[in-house]
Every structure is written in C-alpha cells, then in structure tokens.
Chain A
Amino acid sequence: MPPDRLTSAVGGRRRAVVAPLTVDYAVEAYSLRKVYRTRNGKQAAVDGLDLRVPVGGVHGFLGPNGSGKTTTIRMILGLIAADSGHIRIFDHEVPLAINEVISRVGAIVEQPKFFPAFSGQKNLQLLASAIGAPRRRVAAVLDEVGLADRRRDKFRNYSLGMKQRLAIAATLLKDPDLLIFDEPTNGLDPAGIHEIRTMMRDLASRGKTVLVSSHILSEVQQVADTVTIIGRGRLLAEGDVNDILASDGQLAARVGVSDHLRAAEVLTTSGFTVERLPNRILKVSLVNHKLDLAVITRLLADQGLYVSELTPIQPDLESVFLDLTAGQHLGARQERRRQPASRRPDPRQRRPEQQRRPERRRQPELPDWGGRP
C-alpha cells in the first residue's frame, strides 16, 4: 500500500496530504505498473514494483534484460505514464509535480540521445539555454568529463564512450541532487568503465544521490552502497549491498572426502543440497541459510568420514543476482510467483534501523535438521 500522505494523480486518483515526513528517499515508487500492448497481447513491463532509493550514495538498480529497469526510469522521469502506482522524487509526486523537482534531477536514459549533426558543445549550449544555465557552465562540465578538446566535434562522430561522457556532462549542467544513469557503461572500454565508476563515486562523495541501472554486477558491487534487484517488473530484493551479501553468508562450501558418494548421502539426508564436482569434491549448500562448516565436519565425522578439504564459497552480487533472478530473464518460462501483499512491508511502518537492513524477498527453504546439534 502506498503511504496515505501521497498526493497522487496517477491513475486519476488523488490522495489527501495527511502529514509531512522527513525525506528519507530520493526516489520512492510503490506498486508501479506499466503494461504495453504487443502483437501477442498485453505485456506487463513493470508489475507492481516498489523502489526506494535512499538519499546520498550510489544505488544500484539491477535486473536481467527486459526486467523493466528502463521502463521504471522512464516513469520516474515522466517520459512514460504509469498505468498505476505512485512515484515520488524528493517528496514530490511525479509526474504531477515533476516540474518542481526536475531541476534537481539529471538523467541519461539508455543510450545518450542528442542532436547528431550538432557538436557536443552546441548540444549542451541548447540544453543550457533552455534551462537557463549560464553559458560558462557548458565549458565547465565539458572540462569535467574530459571532452573539452573534442567539444567542437559533431555528436555523431563521437565514440560511444564520448557520447556517454557528454550525457553525463549534460546531467551535470543543472548540478542536480539526483543523477539517474541507465546502463552508463554500455559499450565502454575498461578505462571508460573505470572512469564512469570513479565519477559516480565522486558524485556520491559530494552528497549527490546516484541511481544507476546495470546488469554488470561486478561493477555495481564495487560502486553501489545499496541495490534494488528486480525481475519481470517485480521487486526481488533491496537493501545495502554488504548486508545482502552478508545475509547470504557462506551459502556453499567445497567439501573433499575420499568416500564422496557416502558423504553426499549423509549430507543430503541432513537437508543439505549436494552437487558432485570432479576429483571427489562436493559442493554443499544450504538454500538461503548460513552454512556452518562445523556442522558439516561433525555430521561426516559421526559417520566415520573425514574431510580432506573444506573451503567456503563466498557469494558475490552476481551469485545473489542469478539466484534471485533465476527464471526472471526474458527467455525463461513465465512463471509468475505472486507474493502476498503482507510480504511487501511499507518502509514507513518500520523503524529507521530496520530500513537499513537487507530485505530478502525469497523465503529460505529450511532443511530437515535430522542431525542438528
């Protein structure tokens, strides 16, 4: 349920302002939905999505291709209208009040799109004159993104990296508080990726909020403070990156045993998931539960099986992402797992310290702890 204080025109309904709250989030979206009509009927690009981007820092917005990231960003920016749901930017309802807040938002949606026959400088000058930014600001932002020497080149002659830089320069024209980058490192070489990453961190260190959508997870892991993971237009997980990784704990371990077949049987009976690897190695995991290596050694030792190798496999954002988005990519079967509304807590009903905790949407499947100590 969206909070009652929202004043919304989305879906033609208005809600009364109940009480002002302190702004905790740069972007909030609740129950967002957007359906496109295609030849094959209606296709929900975004299906009841909740998104919360805390003020300050870099927030990663992750999801497989076609999961609705760009559609969500377009709805946030008012480029497309949501079929239902509520969006707020810095406590302003959008698209109703987007005019009041747009000066605080800079955005690149998908590929940078400027007038191809104009130079980078001319493109920025046009934008600057339209928003009333001083002309000297154009030179400053071009210099900031390292395009000062190529400012007179036509946009169509820029490399993809230069186009991305120009787009970033454009967003900086307004000196915004919130920057939204949609796949900003697409097509960039490693140096360009590093540059963009550094820039995002730099912006965050200056107190800006950066919302970056990406599917390059290692990159997001390095740069983001918080993340939202979506699949098929629905929220799968959100929270602090470190907390999300920590919540997974050691989800798996490499276990070397001479009688690996018997060891596999013992562990499987105890509720572990066991996968056989070459060289008598087992990959032992416990779905969404912290894996206690001591339990494994004890279980095996009780059966006279002694481990020759026991190595925890540390999860990264990629494994978390793949785990969460399994079956959520475009090619996957359309299995809709509808989550009950009660499992989508309203952040306003939580204490502040709770809001910072990671919120895993999938419930762990508890093993049958036959040999649980």
Chain B
Amino acid sequence: MSRLVGAEVSRLLSRRFTGIAMIVLLLGLAGYQLLVNDALSPPSREQLATAERVYQDVHEDWVTNHERYEQDCRNTGAPPEECVVTEPTLADFTESATPFKEVARTGLQLSTLLVAVVAFMIAASFIGAEYGSGSIANWLTFIPRRGQVFWSKLLTVTGFAALLGLFGATLVLSGTLVLAHLHGSRIESIRQLAEMGARTILPVVMLAIIGFCIGLLTRHTAGAIGLLLAFVVVWFVRAGPLSSLAWAQRITPWTPEGNIAAIVDRGYTYSVPVNKVTADGVNIEFIQHHVSFTHALVYWSILLALVIIGSLLIFRRRDVI
C-alpha cells in the first residue's frame, strides 16, 4: 500500500494540472493580500483632506438648514423624534482601518473557498485524467487490487488537500499578521484565529474527497467540474432569488455550504423569513436559527462516508474499458 501511495504522490506532484492550480492559488491568495493591505491601511492624507472638505460642506448645510428640514418633516405628520436631523461629525466621513481580527477572519473564510475549489479540481482531475487517457486500465493490469488502488488514490488526494489547506490558512494568517504589524494595527485574538485556520483545513479536505469521488463516478474531470458549477448555481439561486422564501432558508442545516460555514466559524447563524399578519398588514420577521459545529461535523462525516463507500463499491465492480 505504501508503494502505491508513493507512486500516486509522485504522479500527483508531477502533474502539470497540479502545478497550474498551485500557481492560480498562489496568485489568488497574493491578490487577496492586496485587499488586506487596503483594509488595514489607515486613511491617507488625500483621503483625509477630501473627507474634511465633504464634512465642512455637509456641516455648513446642516447649520443653515437643519431646522427647516425638521419642520418639513414634522409637517408631514411624522413623530417629532423621527424628524431630528443630527449634527454630522468628521468621523462620519473618514474611513478608519478595519480591525485586524475582522480582516483575518474574512480572509480565512474567503481563502478557504478558493483553496477548497482548487483542491476539488486537482482531485477531480487526478482521477478524471486517468479515465480520460485510459491509463486506469493499464494501471489495473499491474495492480488489480481495486480496493488498494482506490484507497491509495484517495489517501494521496486527502493528504495533499490537508497540506494545501494548511498552506492556504498559514499564508493568509501570516500575511495578514505581517501587514497588520506594518500598519500598526492592534493584533488580537491570535489563538481564535489560529483555531479557525485549523478548522478551514477540514472543508478543503472534504471538497477534495468529494471532487475525487465525483471524478471517479463521472470518469471525467469536466463532469466533476460541471457538477461543481451546477452546485454553485443552485447555491446562488438559494442565496439570491429564493432568499425571501422560508423553505429555501429552512433547509440550511441540510445544505453542504451551510455546514461548511458552521465548521469554519464554529457554528453558523442563519435567518428564516416569517410572514406575520398584524393590524397594519403583513410584516416579514427574520427568525434566527443556528447550525452547530457538532451538527456540521456529523453531517459531513455521514455525507463523506456515503460518498466514499458508494464510490468504492462502484469502482470495485465497474468494468474498465
């Protein structure tokens, strides 16, 4: 088995697709560091001067007109407390640097998405290319133990994805730390962020396993990528056009993405719109629900077990032509 894993690791690392995917990942993460840099930077002199000018204009307008504005408002019949026009301050017009903790947290969430998609593609391509080129048949004439062949490939992909996830989280966190240090931001919650970084490895590994299994089942990289795109479309439709439908949000605990978010953030809160009929008409209230970290772990464990066992059984029994 170790020989097989060694051969698979050698093949995975020698593949051009792996190299290209790694370059894309590095560029993506580097590009994100530019956004981090912007977020952590304090406002420049030019930005401050512009903000000062805008503030003075607005404040002057307030001094001149705010009583008239309030009177106009009251004339419409609105309650007086709703017609108070507060005095603007300079702080309202200057963007302060985003706190380190917030930047790092968002960075980990976004980078996890990117790294997981890259891991999915590498894994799907790893097995899909074997079917595409037909080399799987050649491989099986040398090593007919299909169970061992399956596990060696899956182990290779899983290990690589774990390293990839670790690499991505380390890069994002360390990059954000360095930039925060350079900009003099207050560095805090390092431990919580490190734990979150560790948790982001799980979705990367999970997506890699799913990618491998779908690549194996569809016998083509394109098939796996097509399914991923279809899933993304469904995800966007649920989060966009269907976001106001209660049932579309109520299924969040049973969706892969809801549980991934619960793993990364150690619990995930979502809202379900509920229509409430009152004397004034129909009000929409958003009731908050929570997907726990444990629920997400159990959900993904069961899902992965089913997918892996199903793929293994099919791989063992399916004719290789």
Residue of B nearest to A79 (CB): B320
Q: Which single member of B4, B14, B133, B141 contacts A109 (CB below 8 Å)?
A: B141
Q: Taking CB as reference atom, which chain A residue is nearest B149?
A: A130
A358 contacts the other chain (CB 8 A): no
Contact with A along B77-116 (1 / 0, CB 8 A): 0000000000000000000000000000000000000000
For A79, A107, A111, A114, the residue with the greatest tally of chain B CB atoms inside 10 Å of its CB is A79
* Given A113-B135, A115-B129, residue A129 in contact with residue B7 (CB < 8 A): yes
Min distance, Cβ A151 to any Cβ of chain B, angstroms = 15
* A117 interface residue (CB < 8 Å to B): yes
Interface: B144 (CB within 8 A): yes
* Given known A-B contacts A80-B321, A131-B143, A113 and B137 have beta carbons under 8 A apart: yes
Selected from A113, A122, A125, the residue in CB contact (under 8 A) with B138 is: A113
State the majority secondary structure of interface residues on B.
helix
Is B11 an interface residue when CB atoms closer than 8 A count as contact? Answer: yes
Assess whether A98 is interfacial by the CB under 8 Å rule. yes
A residues in contact with B11, CB < 8 Å? 115, 118, 126
- Alpha-carbon distance A170/B141, docked complex (angstroms): 11
With contact pairs A81-B317, A113-B137 given, residues A131 and B142 touching in the complex (Cβ less than 8 Å):
yes
Q: Nearest CB to that of A109 among chain B residues?
A: B137
Which of B3, B129, B145, B319 meets A129, CB within 8 Å?
Answer: B3
Query: Quick check: is A314 within 8 A (CB to CB) of the other chain?
Result: no
Least CB distance, A191 to chain B, in whole angstroms: 25
Distance of A23 Cα from B120 Cα, bound (Å): 49
Q: Which residues of A contact B6 (CB under 8 A)?
A: 129
Q: Number of contacting residues on A, CB 8 A?
A: 32
B15 at the interface (CB under 8 A from A): yes
Chain A residues lying within 8 Å of B15, measured Cβ to Cβ, are: 117
Q: Does A207 contact B (CB under 8 A)?
A: no
The A-B contact count (CB < 8 A) is: 80
Question: How distant is A94 from chain B, measured CB to nearest CB, in Å?
Answer: 9
The digit string for B115-151, where 1 denotes a CB below 8 A from any CB of A, is: 0000000000000011001110111111111000000
Question: Closest CB-CB distance, A114 to chain B, in whole Å?
Answer: 6
Interface residue from B3, B7, B14, B144 paired with A77 (Cβ < 8 Å)? B144
B133–A118 CB distance below 8 A: no
Q: How far is the CB of B257 from chain A (nearest CB, A)?
A: 34
A79 touches which of B3, B135, B141, B143 (Cβ 8 Å): B141
- Evaluate contact between B141 and A77: CB separation under 8 angstroms: yes
A-B contact pairs, 7 of them (CB 8 A): A95-B144, A98-B144, A99-B145, A126-B10, A131-B142, A170-B138, A170-B142
Q: A78-B140, A129-B10, A131-B142 are in contact. List 18 more A-B contacts (CB 8 A).
A: A77-B141, A77-B144, A79-B140, A81-B319, A109-B138, A109-B141, A112-B138, A113-B138, A115-B11, A117-B16, A118-B14, A126-B7, A127-B139, A127-B142, A130-B4, A130-B139, A170-B138, A170-B142
**Nearest 7 A/B pairs, CB to CB:** A113-B134, A80-B319, A130-B7, A129-B7, A79-B320, A98-B144, A107-B141
Instruction: Report B's interface with A, CB cutoff 8 A.
Output: 3-4, 6-7, 10-11, 14-16, 129-130, 133-135, 137-145, 317, 319-321
- Write the residues of chain A forming the contact surface with B, with a CB cutoff of 8 angstroms: 74, 77-81, 95, 98-99, 102, 105, 107, 109, 111-118, 122, 125-127, 129-132, 167, 170, 174
